[in-house]
Amino acid sequence: MPKCCRAPNCSNAAGQPRAASRRLSFHKFPLHDTARLQRWLAQMGQEHWVPTHHQHLCSDHFEPSCFQYQWGVRYLRPDAVPTIF
**pLDDT tens track for 12-46:** 998 887 776 678 999 999 999 999 999 999 999 99
The span from the CA of 52 to the CA of 50, in Å, is 7
pTM of the model: 0.86
Q: How many domains does the chain have?
A: 1
What pLDDT shows up at residue 11?
A: 92
What pLDDT shows up at residue 72?
A: 87
Percent of the chain having pLDDT more than 90? 81
Domain of residue 27: give its range: 1-84
Using alpha carbons only, how large is the chain's radius of gyration in Å?
Answer: 13
34-81 pLDDT, tens digit each: 999 999 999 999 999 999 999 999 999 999 999 999 998 999 999 999
Specify whether the CB–CB gap between 36 and 30 falls below 8 A. Answer: yes
The span from the CA of 46 to the CA of 16, in Å, is 26
What pLDDT shows up at residue 6?
A: 95
